[in-house]
Every structure is written in C-alpha cells, then in structure tokens.
Amino acid sequence: MSNTIKGPFIVTGASGHLGSQVIEALLEEGAEPLVAVTRSPEKLEALGARGVEIRAGDFNDPATLGPAFAGGGRLLIISTDDLAPGKRFAAHSNAVAAAKEAGVSHIVYTSLTNPDEGNPIGFARDHRETEVSIKDTGISHTILRNCLYADLLLMNGQQAVGAGALYSAAGDGKAGYVTRADCARAAAAALLTETGSSVRDITGPAAVSQAEIAVILSEATGKEIPYVPITRDALVAAMTEKGMPDSVADVFSSFDVAIAEGYLDVTSNDVQDLTGQGGQSVRDFLLANKAVLIGQG
C-alpha cells in the first residue's frame, strides 16, 4: 500500500494478539516512527531492537496515557477485552480523552459489527458509546466494525470434532466471520492511509451459517460433523458445566443470539478496499488449520 501520511503511528494493546499483528504489518510497510503502547513493556523488548518505541500505557490508569500518547500522531485504539458491562467504555473513554489532550490527528478504533441498541452482544453498548465519544472529539477517525473472529471457530471446531457434532444457538443465522490477521491488515492500512472520517465493516468475503461451518469441519477432518441447533439456555448450561463462569457464558452465548437475529449477517469489500487484498474465507481458514481442529496443532 502506498503511504504519504506521516506518523508517529501509535498502536495500543501492542502485546495482544491483534496489536502484535498490527505492529508486524506496519513494520512490513516501513511505517515510522512507530510507537507500541502496552501495559507490559517487558513483553515487547525485542521490538525495541527493530526501531519501535515502547511506551507503558493502561486504559484503566489515565495517568499513564498522557506520556503514552505524547507527541500526537495517528492512534489505533484496540478495544479492551473486559467482559463486565460498562468496563470497556470506561477504559475507552480514558483513551479517547487522552488522545484529544495529546493532539492526536486521527483515531482508528476497533469496534463491533452493528453495535445498535438492539444488538444482544453483551458489550455492544460499550462499542456504541465509544464510537459516539470518538465522534464527539471532532478528531478525524476510522471506525473499524470488526465481525466475529474466524479464529474463534478453531476452539469451537475442536469441541465439535470431539463431541461429534457442532452445537450452537445461532439457528439458521449467518455471520461475516473475519480472521484476526485480516483485521490486523485492515487496521494497519487505516492508520497509514485513511483521511477524513468513516465507518467500515471489516468482514470476511461471505457470511456463513453454522450448518455451512459443520460441512467445512466435516471436510477438514474427514468425519461427519452435523450441526445441531440448541437453545441459548442449553448452550449456557453446557458452557458452565465445563467450568466457564456464568458471566462469561452469558457473553459468549450472546454471540449466537446476535447471529440468530441477523446482527452479524454483514459482508463488505472494506478489507479489499483498505489493503488491496481480499479477506480469507472461513473455508480456506479452517482447512489451513486442519491440524488445530484435530488436536495436532
């Protein structure tokens, strides 16, 4: 991708799964100066040798964010992973306020597909309110509404292979699953190239149903893996029986409800438009990770 926009380019959550991939994508593009913000600077010492400036910053500790965002530039705010209602928005609000104080020129934010008021996903409200707070700053911004990670299907797929069936409360609904790698590429591209303000849907190339996923799992493993629709209550019960806390089971089961109600049945060309390369399909992703699905990866 061509880039005439100047940094610094600041990536929060830089030691996390998504943030680390964004950093690598930016390094591949020669982005500089490049700043990695993390709660655990010791985890990123190797990046320092590659020319990345490492700064400590914690969304839940506002005092750390002024130094983390000092000098302004273009900022990627990666959503926190706190599942408690309202906790994400509180943390994000600290980051947005610090960005404005630091004179950040453009904010890229990783949001959620259709974070509308009716969306049943437990943290949809946090994303919706964060989007509003970013728009209220007057700073130009790119909102990346990431759909569910296809990567989550590896865990679900392993469980389905072990159980001999794919159980879900998603009904006949579909979701535009997108790989974390494609989300990282899109975020890096937005930091490097986007001007003005926009909302983009970051999805895979096609929305797929659980029945279609079951067919792909069967193909990948050579076993017959049927799709068995169940109720949300049954799904929550199965999760908690395996030791998942009630609050976490409630959030994860809400993904299925959102799929069933059509909130995640979204696809777009935004990954292609941002990066010049289309996203990976669920089928290609799962087949490429066959070893993980059968417990050998």
pTM: 0.96
Report which of 229, 264, 234, 265 is spatially closest to residue 249, judged by C-alpha positions. Answer: 234
φ, ψ for residue 53, nearest 5 deg: -85, 125
Beta bridge partners of 199: 143
In whole angstroms, what separates CA 149 from the centre of its chain?
Answer: 7
What are 9's strand-pairing partners?
34, 74
Beta-ladder partners of 168: 229
Q: Which residues contact 108 (CB under 8 A, 6 or more apart)?
A: 74, 75, 76, 77, 141, 142, 144, 187, 190, 191, 194
Q: What is the DSSP string of 36-74?
A: EEES-GGGGHHHHTTTPEEEE-BTTBGGGHHHHTTT-EE
Cβ count near 118 (within 10 Å)? 9
What pLDDT is stored for residue 2 in this prediction? 47
Q: How many CB atoms lie within 10 A of CB 200?
A: 21
pLDDT of residue 63: 97
Write out pLDDT tens, residues 172-186.
999 999 999 999 999
- Separation CA 279–CA 223 (nearest Å): 27
- Average pLDDT, 10 consecutive residues per value, the chain (297 residues): 77 97 97 96 94 97 97 96 86 98 98 96 96 98 98 95 96 98 98 97 98 97 97 96 94 97 98 97 97 84
Residue type, 36: A
| Backbone torsion region of residue 276, taken as left when φ is above 0, otherwise alpha when ψ lies between -120 and 50, otherwise beta | left
Which structure tokens are listed for 179? 């790989």
Helix axes 152-163, 210-221, angle to 10 degrees: 70
Q: What is the pLDDT of residue 29?
A: 94
Answer whether 284's CB lies under 8 Å from 219's CB. Answer: no
CA distance 82 to 10: 21
β-pairing verdict for 208-209 and 174-175: antiparallel
Helix axes 87-102, 124-136, angle to 10 degrees: 20
Q: How far apart are CA 226 and CA 112, in angstroms?
A: 29
* CATH number corresponding to 9-146+180-202+267-279: 3.40.50.720
